[in-house]
Structure 1
Amino acid sequence: MRIFDLNPPTLQALSNIELIIGVQNQDIQSLGNDVAATTAWIENNVLNYFPDVKFRYIAVGNEINPTAM
């Protein structure tokens, strides 16, 4: 299952399903340029729920327009 909105109730409810989580388009540039922001994103969206939630993949963006970045 892939989820686009990383909110705590959703992640907690899906503890027995392997997930693909996605970095939202508006976060891509800051995560690519800032190690602290990337670390915070991983801590907040992955490590806070691991190992109860089974993260299979992290997808980056959805329909990225490279000329808009």
Structure 2
Amino acid sequence: MTTNASECFNDVLKPARGMPIQALVCATYYHTIDLFLKQQENTIGWESEAVPPYIPRVRVMLRKHAEEAESCLG
């Protein structure tokens, strides 16, 4: 489990090796944002499916968290 997580982290940082610290932080930041945007697209797709993968209670919780997250963007 630990090796797998560290390998994933290594793959994220591999393109940024040899860069100054500021560039490394920016590369990590933008990669993280990209992952969040991809997950958001997946979630939007799930909501429109005829048979959603989540039970109603979980969908309500996800919608609530999404609303709270949108209020943080402002």
Relative to the length of structure 1, the TM-score reads 0.29
Higher helix share: 2
Higher strand share: 1
Tell me: higher relative CO, structure 1 or 2? Use CA pairs within 8 A at least 6 residues apart. 1
Relative to the length of structure 2, the TM-score reads 0.27
